[in-house]
Structures are given as C-alpha cells and as structure tokens.
Structure 1
Amino acid sequence: MTARALVSRAPLVAFQIALGVALVAKGLVSSGVGTALVTLALFAVWIGGTLLNSWLAARPGVLRFKAFAIPLVFGLTLLAMWEIAVRGYGVSTVILPPPSAIAVRFSHSLPILWEDFVQTVIKGALSGFVIGCVAALVTAVVVDRFDFLRRGLLPVGNFVAALPIIGIAPILVMWFGFDWQSKAAVVVVMVFFPMLVNTVEGLHDTSAMQRDLMRTYAAGYWTTLFKLRLPAAMPFIFNGLKIASTLALIGAIVAEFFGSPVRGMGFRISTSVGLLALDLVWAEIVVAAIAGSAFYGAIALLEKAVTFWHPSQRGHGH
C-alpha cells in the first residue's frame, strides 16, 4: 500500500479500532471476558479484511483479477464474522445456523438441491423467462408498428406489472396445475411487461437525423428496424433482460409456495421452515443466490459483447 493510500484510509481504520475497543470494554463490563473476546475477534477480522481490500485497491498492477478478488475478500470476511458471532455468542441454530453447518448440509443434500434446482430454475424460471421475453420482443415490434396499440396496451401493461405476485400466483396455479407449467406462467406474467416497456422505449431512442438518413437511402420500415432501431435499442433490451432475470427466479420460487409437487426450491423452503431445518433453508438460499448471480452475469457478459459500441460499455474498461 502506498503512503498516500495509507494516509487516506487512516481515519477509517482508526474509527474501526476505536469502535472495537469501546465494544470490547462494554462486553467486559456487561457480559464478561468471553463476550469481549468474541467482539475483539469480530473486529480483528473486519479490520483485517478492510486492510487487505485497501491494499488490493491501491496496487492495480499487482493483481490482474482485482475486480473479482476484492468482492471475494469482502464476502469471506462477512462469512468469517458470521461464523464467529454465531458460535461465540451462542446463537441458536434454529434462529441462525453458522456457515459451516450450512456448508455441511449443502454437501450432504446435493441430490435434493439438484432436483429442486432443475424443477425451479430450469423448468419454471428459465422456460418462463424465454417465453415471456420473446413474446415481449415480438409484441414491442407490433406495438411500435401500430401506434394505437402503444396508447392502449402500455397503460394496461403498467397496471398488470403492478399486481402483487401473491395475488396472481394462486390463480395461475389453479389454471395450469401444480407442476412447473404454472410457475412458468407466473414468470411470464412477471417478465413480460418490464421487457415490453424497455423494448418499446429503446425502439424510440433513435434521433430524427438518423431516421432521416435511413430515408435518404430509401430504406423501408423493416430495413430501418433491423439496421438502425433494433441495434440502437439493445441497451434498453438488455436492461429489460437483466430486470427479468431477477424477477424470473423470484416468481418461480414464490409461486411454489401456493402449490407444487414434492420438489422445487419454494416447496423445500416452506416445508423445511415448518420442520425447523433452517440449515436446509439456507442451503436452498445459497443455490438460489448462485443461480441468480450466474444468470444475471451471463446476460451482462452477453450485453458487453453485443453493445461494445455503447459509451457505458466503453467506460467499463477503465
């Protein structure tokens, strides 16, 4: 770490140390030596993680994959503090299991977790995401072609998008059955209108000068659409895809609370809570977090490859 970086971060580190000392002293007075030592360990881990991330941030030439290392160090710091706090303060595993117990349950429940992942993410969320987004793209082109549809459909879309999922999920489960088809239907309803609104907005993002230029080349509607307007709308389309990727997983999981076969992440979470198997609940949450992050990250990587020309993507390279 350079001297300038050390000086700039000195007030933050000093504040953390002072706060840690105050809490340790409070623990000694109120709860004894054990609680004070646990508090001291927590602040030692936090300050160590802060200093390590400060060192990584101040040396751009040392670590090539710094963008991944800094969040990793931060996440490991939080996990270490979680483990120390739960075990040191004697928190009941029913209230909050430690990460080590969640990891053990995760490793012992891989067949169940995989079955739930396929049922919820692949069959329910992914199929609904694809159907909803493709339908929204096609509908956006039709709405763009006929202006009266835009004036009539988009207000209805905003109304439907505001409907709570806990209201529409039971209805769609009764319509489409208890298997993954009803969860896909919930996902379609959730992702369709955000994707539609973003795409329609993107199709109107071209300037009058650009459209006039296409007319000087005698380009018709479809040529202008595919050569100018759709490429210009790609940042909006990918914004809709990223929003839909998070909504899809949430919708599929929540819909399983209202009826599902004996598998699925939402089903497993609801039944495990009733059995007080909170370590399995947290294992399902870990799977959902990994799946959601990977899904979002894949769309972000595809966006970077497709919209490399956009100023926002060029700015990410610095």
Structure 2
Amino acid sequence: MKKSADLVLILFVLLSGISVFLPVGVDVDMSVQWWDKPAPFALLLLSIAAALYQMKSREETTYAALLLTIGCITGAFAPLILTHTVDTSGFTAIGHWLFLAALGLLVWRSLALLSKVANGNYFLAFAVPALFGIWLLYLWQVLTIGFGVPSVLLPSPEQIGAAIENNSSTLFADFYQTVVKSVLSGFAFGCGAGFLVAILVDRVPFMQRGLLPLGSMVSAIPIVGIAPIMVMWFGFDWQSKAAVIVVMTFFPMLINTLAGLQATSHIEKDLMRSYAASYWQTLLFLRLPNAMPFIFNALKINSTLAMIGAIVAEFFGTPIVGMGFRISTEVGRMNVDIVWATIAVAAVVGSLFYGILALLERRITFWHASYRRVK
C-alpha cells in the first residue's frame, strides 16, 4: 500500500521556501536577507534538505527519525544566530519569524516520528519529552531576544542560566534550607503519619466516619491560613515549614492508602482466610501490595505539594535563607533574573523528586496491569 504524502513536511518546505525571499531583519538601517548571512542560510538549507529526504524516502525508522531531528537542530540555530546579529523585531524580520513558524512544523513531525519508533527504546522514549522541553526553552529564548522583551518583565533562559551561575552559592544555601531541611523532613513525617493512621483506621472502622470528614475540612484550609499559625507555634526556622508540609501531605496519603486497602476483592480475602491467615498476614502479603499503586499516587502528589508548601510558607517568616525568602526579597529589589533562577531550581528539584518516585513505583509495582506491554 502506497503511503500518502507528508502534508506537515510539505507545508514546512513551502513556508521555508517563501521565507527565503523575505527580509529577516535590519542591520545598520539596511534590510537583511537570508543570503546576506551565510551561516544561518546554510543551516536553513540543511533543515530543508532533511525534510526533502524524509518526504522522498517516507521511512518510519529510527535512522529517519534521528535524521529529521538533526535537521530540526541545525535549522533551530539559524534564527538563534540571527537574533544575536541583526534586529529581528516586528515586520522587518517577517522571513525570520515565518521560518520559525515553519520550524515548529518540522519539530512536530520529528517528535511524532521519534514517538512512533521509540517502542522498547528507553533512550528515544526519554528523548521525546526532553527535546520538547528544549524546544519550549528555545522558543522562549528566541522570542524574548528577537522582540527585545525587557528582562524585568521576562528574562531569557540565557539570562536565567547566567543568574544561576553567578549566584550558585546563594541558591545552594536556599536549596539546602528549603528542600533538605523543610521538604524532606515534612514529606517523611506527613506521609509516614498518614500511612500509619490509614492502617489504624482500617483496623478500627468507626474512626473512618469521624476522621475523613475532618480531613476534608483541614485539606480545604489554604496554605496562607496555615503558614502564619505554624510560624507562631514552631518559630521562624525550618520546623514551621515542615509542619505546614505535614498538614498538606497527611490527608492525601491517608485517603489514598485507605482506598488502596479497600481495593482488595472479597475473593482474595476469602482465599487468605482459607489459608488461616491472620489480619496482619493478610495486610502484609495481600492488601498492602494491592495498595501500592494508590500509595505511590499519594507520594507523587505529595512531592509537588511539599515543594509548594515549603516555598509559600517561607513568605510568612524565615531566616535570611530559603527559596521562598529569595523570591519575595529579590522581587522587591527588581532582580527578576534571580527570581526566575530560584523558580528554575525549584522546578528541576520538584521534577527530579517526582521522577525518582515514579521510577520506584515502576520497580515495585512492575506487576500492575498499567505496565504490561501489548505485543
């Protein structure tokens, strides 16, 4: 069966060809064309060549996906070089922005092809979201530099990276105060307490009627209402932030663990009774393994809640260190690049925290139906 034409690649080649004949910027009050800048022009032609090769071959192989990805990367450098060498703001650089829009189509086709050939290849499966994230950062960089967005409104990724490098010691101290002291301790206490109370509630059913409505009520209290009270009770150091995190993470763990314990079917419980298993044996060998997907779901939810809770709580009183303190202080000083650097560190740490829990979940609950591959 003959494969249909790739409309996305056809549209990319068409838009890129049109952009070649349009101005890409202004240099010393003179309009600049693509061919006036040999290096960006050569990169543009290489990306078009990669698209034309894929249109001709119509292959859906790893080699074709990697070749198309290389075409995206080479093409992406063309607008990036232009934004640093000529004025690319407004309609004076219509060719530049038209090619950037066309490049989005090439990236779309490349990521779609990578996703299709990534079955069983963990490297390619990881590369797809990584490349998509890099593409978003690239757009951020090109748009902020190309349109001359003031850094006080939105700094470019390049400026944020420079702020991280120049303030690495300060950011590490903030990371240690917020993450190591507050987040990890509060997360451990909150999740551990929620897990133990869930087992207690499961063992003593009448507690469920009184405790779960109370949990729903406490969960509805906003952080900005809890944080000042905890600062008054536990002081300005990390203990008050850990207490906020305990309150935020306790009930998600309690509710998810209870739901997991109740997910065991009556047939499975009857089988354990036929083996003369006690309550604790049934809990350990049957019900807790069945509850693991629910428990890990709570852990992943709480990993993000803990980061948010710690940072917000630091707005209401903290020593002169911490991510929340850094954000509130540097905003007042108009050092927006440091604010974004702190946000970037928090986002990376939160993503790594979540990713580690997801990997642990995959290792421990490998038997679950959601991880079975359909051959």
The residue aligned with 1:252 is: 310
1:160-309 matches, within 5 Å, as 160-309=218-367
Residue 10 of structure 1 pairs with residue 7 of structure 2: yes
Distance 1:156 1:61 in 2: 46
Q: Which has the larger radius of gyration?
A: 2
> RMSD of the alignment, in Å?
2.8
Residue 84 of structure 1 pairs with residue 142 of structure 2: yes
1:116 to 171, 174, 180: 174
Residue 70 of structure 1 pairs with residue 67 of structure 2: no
Q: TM-score, normalised by structure 2?
A: 0.76
Decide whether the 8 Å contact of 1:124 with 1:180 is kept in 2: yes
Decide whether the 8 Å contact of 2:189 with 2:246 is kept in 1: yes
Distance 1:62 1:293 in 2: 23
Paired residue secondary structure (1:65): helix
The residue aligned with 2:155 is: 97
Distance 1:297 1:32 in 2: 40
Distance 1:282 1:20 in 2: 37
Decide whether the 8 Å contact of 2:9 with 2:109 is kept in 1: no
Decide whether the 8 Å contact of 2:115 with 2:125 is kept in 1: no
Distance 1:11 1:170 in 2: 54
Distance 1:87 1:128 in 2: 41
Decide whether the 8 Å contact of 1:140 with 1:200 is kept in 2: yes
1:153 to 200, 204, 211: 211
Shift of residue 50 of structure 1? Answer: 2.2
Which has the higher mean CA deviation after the structures are superposed, 34-43 or 95-104? 34-43
The residue aligned with 1:126 is: 184
Residue 312 of structure 1 pairs with residue 370 of structure 2: yes
Letter of the 1:275 partner, please give it.
R
Specify every segment of 5 or more residues in structure 2 that has no aligned partner in the other structure, as ranges.
Answer: 26-88
Q: TM-score, normalised by structure 1?
A: 0.89
Specify every segment of 5 or more residues in structure 1 that has no aligned partner in the other structure, as ranges.
Answer: none
Percent identical pairs in the alignment equals 52
Distance 1:175 1:38 in 2: 58
Paired residue secondary structure (1:90): coil
Decide whether the 8 Å contact of 2:171 with 2:342 is kept in 1: yes
Paired residue secondary structure (2:372): helix
- TM-aligned CA distance change 1:204 to 1:59, over 3 Å: closer
Determine which structure has greater relative contact order: mean sequence separation of CA pairs < 8 Å that are 6+ residues apart, divided by chain length: 1
Task: Render the CA deviation track for 1:223-252: whole Å, top value 9, x for unaligned.
Answer: 111111111111111111111111000000
Letter of the 2:110 partner, please give it.
L
Distance 2:261 2:208 in 1: 12
Letter of the 2:328 partner, please give it.
S
Shift of residue 10 of structure 1? Answer: 1.8
Decide whether the 8 Å contact of 1:20 with 1:39 is kept in 2: no
Letter of the 1:286 partner, please give it.
A
2:201 to 143, 146, 159: 143
Shift of residue 12 of structure 1? Answer: 8.4
Distance 1:132 1:225 in 2: 22
Decide whether the 8 Å contact of 1:16 with 1:47 is kept in 2: no
Q: Name segments (4+ residues, structure 1) moved above 6 Å.
A: 15-22
Distance 1:192 1:62 in 2: 37
Paired residue secondary structure (1:230): helix
